[in-house]
Chain A
Amino acid sequence: MIKNNGNGEYRVLGTRPVRHDGADKVTGKAVYTADVQLPGMLRGFILRSPIAHGRIKSIDTSAAKTTPGVHAVITSADMPDVGDKVADLGEGAVNLKYLSGNVLAQDKVLYKGHAVAAVAAVDIHVAEEAAKKIVVEYEELPSVTWVLDAMQDDAPLLHEDLHTDSMGAKSENPSNICTHMHFEKGDIEDGFAQCDIVVEREFKTASVHQGYIEPHASVGDWNEDGRLRIWTATQGSFTARQQTAEVLQIPISDVVVTPCEIGGGFGGKIAVYLEPIVGMLSKLSGRPVKISMTRADVFEATGPTPGSYMKVKLGATSEGKLVAGEAWLAYDAGGYPGGMIGPGCMCVFSCYDIEHAVVDGYDVCVNKPNTQAYRAPGATQVAFATEQLVDEIAKQIGMCPLSIRQLNAAKEGTVRVDGPKYPPVGLVECLDALEDSDHWKSTLEGPLRGRGIAAGFWFGCGLKSCATVTVNHDGTVNLLEGSTDIGGSRTSLAMQLAEVLGITSDDVNPMVGDTDSVGYTDVTGGSRVTFATGLAAYTAGRDLQTQMISRAAEEVWDCSPDEVTLESDGRFTHNDESKTFKELAAQLFKHGEPLVARAAVSPENPTNGFGVHVADVEVDPETGKVTVLRYTTIQDAGKAVHPSYVEGQLQGGTVQGIGWALNEEYFYHDNDTVANASFLDYRMPTMLDLPMIDTIIVEAANPDHPYGVRGVGETPIVPPPAALANAIYNATGTRMEQLPMSPPVLWKQLQTESTEA
C-alpha cells in the first residue's frame, strides 16, 4: 500500500538547495562543447554565403585542399542525398531535404550566412584562411525579407517546388507561402454584431534572435568501428542523433551524441547545424574535428524567431465582455518552412473566453535564416497585438485593464479557438495575485510615466522522458536522465526523486546521460523538463519503492507485501517497526541483488502556463528612450520545485521580452544582408538597462502531475512587449504598432502625433 502525499506539504519541494553542478560551473571546470579536446583534433571553419539569395554555379575548393595544414574540405556534393522525406523529430516534423539544405547549401543559397563549404585544418586560423581560398560562383537572385512582400505573386521564389499546404491540400502554383492555417469558433458575423465596441489594428514585429551567449559548437569523431561520436551544444541529444543520422544517411545506432554542458538555447539549439558537418569532416580526415561558430555566424545563420505582420480585430459589449475576435497572421519562416505559425494562431486569443473567433495564419519563406523556436514560439508576437487591443477596449469603455482581464480570463472549460477545452488553469489566480500585489497597489507619479499590464500563455508540453535510478551501498541514489541541463534541471529532478523517497536532494546524484546510456528523452524545450522528466524521476522512485516493499516483505519482515506500508514521508513500516529509505536500501543491498528502478513516461497534455506582468516606464520625449522603472512578473508554476530557479526562469524570460520590446531587431542592408550581426549592434539588454525583476509565483496545481508541477520556462517572454506598449501608451497617449519600440521609432511617432495634434 502506498500513501500518496496529496496534502501539498513537502520536505524537499519548495526548498532551495545548491545545484549539483554548481561547483563545476563557478570554478571553470564544467565542460561545454568548445572545451572538449581530443587527441589529434582538427579545427573546422565554415565558408558562408555573402549574398541573400543566389544560385550556386560552381565551387572550386582546389586551392583550399592544397593549403598546408588542411585535412579535409567538403561541400553539399560530399553529403548523401536524403530525398524528399518528412522525419518526425519528437518536438516537430521536418522535411529532410530542407534540414540537409540548411546544413550545407545545395543548388541555392537562401540567406546571407548560409553554409556553403567547410574546411578542417590543424588550427582555426589555417582553416579560416584556407576557406577564404574557396571560389564560389553565384548567380545572384532578387531577394525578399518582408513577409508581406514574399506573399505577393510576383515575389522572388525561394523554392520553385514549394506549394502552399492548406491542411493537406496543395496550391496549384509554387509559392513562398508554405502553410495556410484556418480556425473558427462560433459565428464571427453574429459575434461582431453583438459588440458595442470593436477595435482593429495592424501590427508588425522584427526578427529577433534567441541570443544565447554560447555559440553553437560540435565535435565529431568518426570512429574506426564505424560509429560517429558527437559532442555538441544541443537542447536534445536524441533529436541531434536522429537529425545527424538522417542527414548523413547512416543508422541511428551508429551515432552516439554526448550532450555537453550547454550555454543557453531558448529553442535555438534543437535543429542541427554543425553536427553532420563535423561528422563528415571527421570521416574524410580520419581525425576528430571541432567547429565553433563565430558570433556573426550565430546571428546570420541560426535562429531567429519569425518577424511578423498581424491584423487583429476584437469586439466587446459595453460591459467589457469580449465577444468576438478575428486575426490574420503572417509569420516569416526564413529560408525553409517554419513551425511557429500554428502556435501563433492557437495563442492569439488563448488568454480569454471569446465565444466567436476566426484566425488565419500563414507561414512564409523569406531570405533569412530558417526560423527556429524561441521561448513560447509564436506567442509573443500575437500577445503584443491582442493585449493592446484589450487595453484599448477597456480605455474606451472606461474600465480598468485588470478588471476587463478578470472578467474575460480563460478558465477551466474555456474552449480555445483550435477546439480543446482548458483543464483547471491559473490565469484568474495570477490576475488576483496582481490585484493584491504591492506593485499594483502602489501609485506611479510624475509626467511621462505610465503603468501597463499584459497576460500571456504557453502550452508547455509533455513528450517522452526516461529515468533510471540505481541505489548505492549507503542508500544514496544515482539518477540517470536524458534531459540536457540548461538551467538547473538536474537539481529540480533530483528534488522530485528525493521527495518521493524521503531522502535529501544531496542524497541524489543526478547525471545527464548520452544517447547510448539513457532511454529516449525528448528535447529540453517546451517547458517540459521539470514536468515530464520530473514525472519520470517520480515514477522511477515509485518503481523502486514497489520493489522494496516486496523485498522487505520477503527479506526483512517475512510477511506479505500488503502488510508493508509505505508512509507518505517515504518510511517503510510493518506493524510497529519502521525503516527509512536509506536504512532499508542499505539492508537490502547486503542481502540480495542490487536495486535498480526505471521509468519511461510520455505525458501528453499541455501543462498550460499562464502569467501576468505589470511594468512601470518613463519616456524621454526628446529622445524616445523608454526607461523601465519597475517590473513584476506573476506566473502559475503549479508547484515551484526549486523556487529560485522558477524565479530565474520568470526573470530571464521577462528580460528577453523586454529586449524584444525595446531594442532587439535585425537590420538589413539594401541587398538584404544582415547589418548588425554582433552583440554590439544587436543590443540585448545589459545589466544597466534594467531594474530588479520582482516575481510572484502562483501555485494552482496541475492535475496531470503528482506534485502539480507546470512548465514555467516559456510563458514569461510572452507579456513584456505588450505590457511595455500599454505602459508607453499610458505615459504618452501613443499606441505602438511595431516591435521593437526603439527610441527613433517612438520619438518619430511622438513627433508626428504632436504636429498632427
Chain B
Amino acid sequence: MANKRHVSTTINGEPKEFLCAPHESLLEVLRDNLGLTGSKEGCNNGNCGACTVILNGRPVDSCLVLGVEVEGAEVETVEGIADRNELHPVQECFLEGAALQCGICTPGFLVASKALLEKNPDACEHTIRYNLAGNLCRCTGYDKIVRAVQDAGARMAESN
C-alpha cells in the first residue's frame, strides 16, 4: 500500500491537517477521516451530486477528487453553510418550502444552490434547472427544490 500523505487544507474556514493515502477520495477523507458525514455518497462516480462540496469557490463532486489534491485548497461542505446557529437562507427556504423528503440529496443540493446563488442570486428557473441538473433527487420531483432556490435567491438579495 502506498504511503499516506500529510495534507494541509482549509475546511469550512478552519485550517485542517489530515493523513490520507493517494487513492482515498476527498469524500472518503471528509466522511471517514474527518467525521464530516454531511456529504453523502449516492453513486461514487459523479452522477448524482450528493457529495457536492465547494473546492476553491467551485462546486465539485468530492467523490471525483483525491484527498491529496486539496493540499493548500479551500473546501466548503454542508456543515459550513450555517453561521453558528443561524441557518443560511437556502437552508431556511428548503425547510419552509418542504424541498426535502428523505433528505439524502439535500446536502448536495444546498451546497450547489448556495454556489449558484452567490454567483447569480436572481437565477431564473431554467438557470437553476440547468446548473442543478447534476444533483439527482428521487423524492420531490424537483418542483419544491426549484422554488426554494428561487426564494433563497430573493432572500439573499434582500439581506444584501
Cβ-based interface call for A552 (8 A): no
Contacting pair B133 A686 (CB below 8 A): yes
| Interface residue from A125, A213, A294 paired with B104 (Cβ < 8 Å) | A213
Cβ-based interface call for B96 (8 A): yes
A8-43 residues at the B interface, CB under 8 angstroms: 16, 18-19, 21-23, 25-32, 34-35, 37
Cβ-based interface call for A167 (8 A): no
Contacting pair B129 A488 (CB below 8 A): no
Q: Known: A32-B104, A644-B98. Contact between A26 and B87, CB under 8 A? A: yes
| Interface residue from B31, B38, B41, B138 paired with A29 (Cβ < 8 Å) | B38
Distance between Cα atoms of A686 and B149 in the complex (Å): 16
Cβ-based interface call for B143 (8 A): yes
Chain A residue, CB-CB nearest to B139: A652
Contacting pair A214 B144 (CB below 8 A): no
Cβ-based interface call for B9 (8 A): no
Cβ-based interface call for A648 (8 A): yes
Give B139 Cβ to nearest chain A Cβ, in Å: 5
Contacting pair B142 A655 (CB below 8 A): yes
Chain B residue, CB-CB nearest to A22: B95
Contacting pair B39 A28 (CB below 8 A): yes
Q: Which B residues are CB-close (under 8 A) to A215? A: 41-42
Contacting pair B133 A687 (CB below 8 A): yes
Cβ-based interface call for A262 (8 A): yes
Q: Which B residues are CB-close (under 8 A) to A35? A: 31, 37
| Interface residue from A27, A265, A642, A680 paired with B79 (Cβ < 8 Å) | A27
A-B pair number, CB within 8 angstroms: 178
B128-155 residues at the A interface, CB under 8 angstroms: 128-130, 132-147
Distance between Cα atoms of A486 and B77 in the complex (Å): 24
Q: Which B residues are CB-close (under 8 A) to A687? A: 128-129, 132-133, 135, 137, 142, 145-146
Contacting pair A262 B102 (CB below 8 A): yes
Distance between Cα atoms of A23 and B35 in the complex (Å): 19
B21-79 residues at the A interface, CB under 8 angstroms: 23, 28, 31, 35-45, 47-48, 50, 77-79
Contacting pair B48 A26 (CB below 8 A): no
Contacting pair B98 A27 (CB below 8 A): no
Distance between Cα atoms of A294 and B144 in the complex (Å): 29
| Interface residue from A26, A214, A261, A651 paired with B95 (Cβ < 8 Å) | A26
Contacting pair B102 A263 (CB below 8 A): yes
Contacting pair B136 A679 (CB below 8 A): yes
Q: Which B residues are CB-close (under 8 A) to A486? A: 101-102, 139
Contacting pair B45 A690 (CB below 8 A): no
Distance between Cα atoms of A688 and B135 in the complex (Å): 10
Give B99 Cβ to nearest chain A Cβ, in Å: 9
Distance between Cα atoms of A487 and B35 in the complex (Å): 25
A599-640 residues at the B interface, CB under 8 angstroms: none
Cβ-based interface call for B110 (8 A): yes
Cβ-based interface call for A211 (8 A): yes
A320-375 residues at the B interface, CB under 8 angstroms: none
Q: Known: A27-B78, A686-B133, A688-B130. Contact between A645 and B98, CB under 8 A? A: yes
Cβ-based interface call for B105 (8 A): yes
- Most A CB contacts (10 A, CB to CB) among B47, B133, B138, B142 go to B138
Contacting pair A679 B47 (CB below 8 A): yes
Q: Known: A23-B95, A28-B79, A688-B130. Contact between A648 and B110, CB under 8 A? A: no
A138-169 residues at the B interface, CB under 8 angstroms: none
Main secondary structure of the interface of B (DSSP, over half): loop
Q: Which A residues are CB-close (under 8 A) to B103? A: 21, 25, 30, 261, 263
Give A714 Cβ to nearest chain B Cβ, in Å: 13
Give A633 Cβ to nearest chain B Cβ, in Å: 9
| Interface residue from A18, A213, A645, A654 paired with B137 (Cβ < 8 Å) | A213
Distance between Cα atoms of A262 and B105 in the complex (Å): 11
Cβ-based interface call for A276 (8 A): no
Contacting pair A656 B41 (CB below 8 A): no
Cβ-based interface call for A397 (8 A): no
Contacting pair B141 A651 (CB below 8 A): yes
Distance between Cα atoms of A480 and B31 in the complex (Å): 30
Contacting pair A678 B98 (CB below 8 A): no
Contacting pair A264 B47 (CB below 8 A): no
Chain B residue, CB-CB nearest to A485: B102
| Interface residue from A16, A21, A264, A648 paired with B138 (Cβ < 8 Å) | A264
Q: Which B residues are CB-close (under 8 A) to A557? A: none
Give A305 Cβ to nearest chain B Cβ, in Å: 14
Q: Which A residues are CB-close (under 8 A) to B142? A: 651, 655, 685, 687, 690
Q: Which A residues are CB-close (under 8 A) to B110? A: 26
Contacting pair A214 B40 (CB below 8 A): yes
Contacting pair B102 A295 (CB below 8 A): no
Contacting pair B97 A28 (CB below 8 A): no
Q: Which A residues are CB-close (under 8 A) to B125? A: 692
Distance between Cα atoms of A488 and B138 in the complex (Å): 15
Cβ-based interface call for A212 (8 A): yes
Distance between Cα atoms of A647 and B37 in the complex (Å): 30
Q: Which A residues are CB-close (under 8 A) to B44? A: 294-295
B79-119 residues at the A interface, CB under 8 angstroms: 79, 81-82, 87, 91, 94-98, 100-107, 110
Cβ-based interface call for A693 (8 A): yes
Distance between Cα atoms of A653 and B138 in the complex (Å): 9
CB-CB contacts of A683-702 with B at 8 A, as 1s and 0s? 01111101011000000000
| Residue ranges of B at the interface with A (Cβ–Cβ < 8 Å) | 23, 28, 31, 35-45, 47-48, 50, 77-79, 81-82, 87, 91, 94-98, 100-107, 110, 125, 128-130, 132-147
26 A–B contacts, CB within 8 A, in A order: A16-B98, A21-B103, A25-B100, A25-B106, A27-B91, A28-B39, A28-B77, A212-B102, A213-B104, A214-B42, A263-B103, A266-B138, A487-B101, A644-B98, A647-B143, A652-B140, A654-B141, A678-B43, A679-B47, A679-B48, A684-B138, A686-B133, A687-B133, A687-B145, A688-B133, A690-B141
Known pairs A26-B94, A652-B140, A655-B142; list 6 more (Cβ under 8 Å).
Answer: A26-B95, A214-B102, A264-B102, A295-B43, A679-B48, A684-B138
| Residue ranges of A at the interface with B (Cβ–Cβ < 8 Å) | 16, 18-19, 21-23, 25-32, 34-35, 37, 124-125, 210-215, 261-266, 292, 294-295, 486-488, 642, 644-645, 647-648, 651-656, 678-680, 684-688, 690, 692-693
